[in-house]
Amino acid sequence: MAIQQALKDYVFFVKDTGPERNGMPQGLLRRQTASLLDRGFACATGLTYMPLTSWLNFSKDSYLKHHDQQGPAAWAQFSSVQFAAWANATSFHFQSPLRPLRAWLQSITDSTLYTHLTTRERVPCCLRGFFSVERARILGVNRTVWRALRASLAREDNIEESHYAERSWAALLA
């Protein structure tokens, strides 16, 4: 089935981590839906605008993945040195081979889209992983971009690239 036929008129993206994973508050969903119908893209927590240089230079240098599985009490006990030793002793490879976000973005976009995304002073970001978008905006992004993005996110679960993507959805789709 072609992607044009498979997509619904509106797509809601809900991240599976964080306190909201047990159910998005209905008021938040209503506000997001109203904004989506009005603008074609909506961020449940409101758009954040990052300075272009901050966005392009973003990386997660001190992120501790362990907390996602065990909760804050479990990872609070680790120093960054201990975490690095744990990460090296396991198959966990959080850090992207393409750093910072700028290098990752160049790898998933063509030169025209990259130029379009990087010629503004501030970049819209939808943090915390709750957004919705109309079908036409998804289809407006070249398939090669979607394929490259999917490939970059398939490396492992909860990787640095997923944080790049989270900060790029609004720039790509809003």
Instruction: Give the pLDDT confidence of 104-116 residue by residue, as tens digits.
Output: 999 999 999 999 9
**Is 72 within a domain?**
no
What is the extent of the structural domain holding 163? 3-60+95-173
pLDDT of the residue at 132: 86
Q: For the ranges 42-51, 89-98, 146-155, which has the lowest average pLDDT?
A: 89-98
Q: Is residue 128 exposed (0-12), middle (13-18) or buried (19+ Cβ within 10 Å)? A: middle
Per the structure, how many domains does the chain have?
1
User: Residues 6 or more apart from 92 whose CB is under 8 A from it?
Assistant: 65, 86, 156
Q: Is 136 helix (H, G, I), strand (E, B) or coil?
A: helix
Q: Residue 153 and residue 101: Cα distance in Å, rounded?
A: 13
Per-residue pLDDT at 33 exceeds 80 = no
110 inside domain: yes
Number of helices (H) and strands (E) in the chain: give both, helices first: 12, 5
- Does the pLDDT value for residue 22 go beyond 50? no
Is 115 inside any structural domain?
yes
Residue 160 belongs to some domain of the structure? yes
pTM: 0.77
Q: Is residue 65 part of a domain?
A: no
pLDDT score at 12: 77
pLDDT above 70: residue 157: yes
Query: Bridge partners of 48?
Result: 125
pLDDT, tens only, 85-144 = 655 655 557 788 888 999 999 999 999 999 999 999 999 998 877 888 999 999 999 999
Say which residue, 173 or 71, is predicted with more confidence: 173
Establish how many alpha carbons lie within 13 A of residue 51's alpha carbon, considering only the half-sphere containing its beta carbon. 3
Give a yes or no: residue 23 inside a domain: yes
Q: How high is the pLDDT of residue 75?
A: 52
Residue 89 inside a domain? The answer is no
